[in-house]
Amino acid sequence: MQVFPEKSTNPEACLQLLLFADQRPSSKEQIGEIRQFLEKLDSQEPYELQVIDVGQQPYLAEYFKLVATPALVKIFPEPRHILAGSDLVMQLEHWWPRWQRALEECCCLDQKTHAEASAGANSANTVTSVAYVAELIKLSDEVFRLKQEREQLQQQLSFKDRIIEILAHDLRSPLTAASLALETLLASHQNPQKQKESPEIAKAFRERLVQQARNQIRTIDRMITDILQTATGPSAKLLLQPNKLDLAEFCQEILSEFSTQLQGKSLQLKTDIPNDIPPVYADQERIRQVIVNLLDNAVKYTPRGGTLRVSILHRTTQKIQVSICDSGPGIPEENRDRIFQDRFRLQRDESQDGYGIGLSLCKRIIRAHYGQIWVDSSLNKGSCFHFTLPVYHF
């Protein structure tokens, strides 16, 4: 701690002063003027002055709530008194007699209660206690930091407990669907004589069952991947393996995987995906997470018989834009930025299954690709989620 005692006389009963200053020439001049003033004082009352460099001890300046330097702080006798401004010497000259009277009153009170005070009680009030105060401030900051960490850990534990409950519930549906598809496929294979359909129909039936099982397994994989990724925390850096990616073909493949979900709700899919879209530089699996997540939401919120639109636009020579739109209820204007926050869920979704991590994870993935993600929405007119990816130029 950079403190510089100027004078000490009877430290157990003296005016205790702290002078906060920085390294500016004007501050050094004021320090010199205050020293000269104190040296010229013809006073029988002792004092002790310590100069503190705010550049090296900023937390002390914060502790005393100083808004400008140089500043002179009387810390004993109480109450604390702070002088600040360009005329510190004039203020000190004005307040010095009052400080002396306050010290005399304090000393008289100490004499009356001396029998009850411990031998070290007075020494705790000396200017040497500034170092003690500094340590208390450091410890206080550390306690505050530990409390914050504890609260964050408690929130994470609570969140993970909730995730385990939701995950256990949500896994049942795709696991059951995949299991039924595989059992039906196995039964048809073990009893081929019971199949009255033509070989072509039987083959198409088996392929549909295999595709259904594959889709459900991918759903399970996405759920687990999202949970594991979120468990690393929002500050964790995403590990990407970017490469050349034909985004148009890639999107068509993903859309084909959603055919069963679209048919299940009688949804109409409209696409605008030009064949001449240039490739992008992206991590294929990460972008799959984003597209699937946005499509899942679009299917979820679009009412039966509604419409989904997927388009890809070559915006600039550097960026490709993907848009996924639904005809659902839309998003309230006040929540359009918050939906990308970690664990944020709209009030209408609180009773539905979900984690509140999908869009925040999408944002992290797109930002890691140096892209942008945003939403355009109108109440009762649907929502359009857009994101951009860099064009492949290698």
Give a yes or no: residue 205 inside a domain.
yes
What is the per-residue pLDDT across 77-94, written as a single tens digit (0 to 9) for each?
A: 888 899 988 888 899 888
pLDDT at 350 over 50: no
- Domain range for 88 is 3-127
Residues 264, 313 within the same domain:
yes
Start-to-end C-alpha separation, the chain: 56
185 and 298 assigned to the same domain? no
Q: Which of 231, 261, 280 is the last residue of a domain?
A: 231
CATH number at residue 195: 1.10.287
Q: Is 308:326 a contact under the CB 8 Å cutoff?
A: yes
Examine residue 111 and state whether it is found in any structural domain, yes or no: yes
Number of domains making up the chain = 3
Provide the whole-model pTM.
Answer: 0.49
CATH of the domain at 23: 3.40.30.10
Shared-domain flag, residues 92 and 112: yes
Q: What is the pLDDT of residues 304-320, one digit of tens each?
A: 999 999 999 998 888 99
Tell me: do 376 and 284 sit in the same domain: yes
DSSP 201-260: HHHHHHHHHHHHHHHHHHHHHHHHHHHHHHHT-TTSPP----EEE-HHHHHHHHHHHTHH
Clarify whether residues 218 and 175 are in a common domain.
Answer: yes
Q: Do 22 and 98 belong to one domain? A: yes
**pLDDT tens digits along 132-147:** 666 766 777 787 788 8
At 230, is the pLDDT very low, low, confident or very high (cuts 50, 70, 90)?
A: low
The rounded distance, in Å, linking the Cα atoms of 388 and 72 is 56
Question: 95 and 149, same structural domain?
Answer: no
Q: pLDDT value at position 381?
A: 86
Is residue 142 packed enough to be buried (19+ CB in 10 Å), middle (13-18) or exposed (0-12)?
exposed
Rounded to whole angstroms, the maximal C-alpha distance in the chain is: 119
Average pLDDT of the chain, as a whole number: 78
b/e map of 190-215 (b: 16 or more CB within 10 Å)? Answer: eeeeeeeeeeeeeeeeeeebeebbeb
Q: For 89-93, 106-110, 167-171, 313-317, which range has the lowest pLDDT when averaged over its residues?
A: 167-171
- CA 172 to CA 160: how far, in whole Å? 18
Is residue 132, in this structure, part of any structural domain at all?
Answer: no
Last residue of a domain, one of 186, 205, 231: 231
- Residue 30, exposed/middle/buried by CB under 10 A (0-12, 13-18, 19+)? buried
Shared domain for 227 and 324, answered yes or no, is no
Q: How confident is the model at residue 323 (pLDDT cuts 50, 70, 90)?
A: very high
At 104, list the tokens.
């005399």
- pLDDT tens-digit profile of 248-268? 999 999 998 888 889 889 999
| Ramachandran angles phi, psi of 269, nearest 5° | -110, 125
Q: Residue 264 — φ and ψ, nearest 5°?
A: -60, -30
Does residue 261 share a domain with residue 376? yes
- Do 259 and 226 belong to one domain? no
Q: Look at residues 127, 152, 172 and tell me which one is the last residue of a structural domain.
A: 127
Average of per-residue pLDDT across 12-35: 83
Residues 223 and 331 in one domain: no
Residues 116 and 206 in one domain: no
Residue 357 has pLDDT above 70, yes or no: no
Proportion of the chain above pLDDT 90, given as a percent: 20
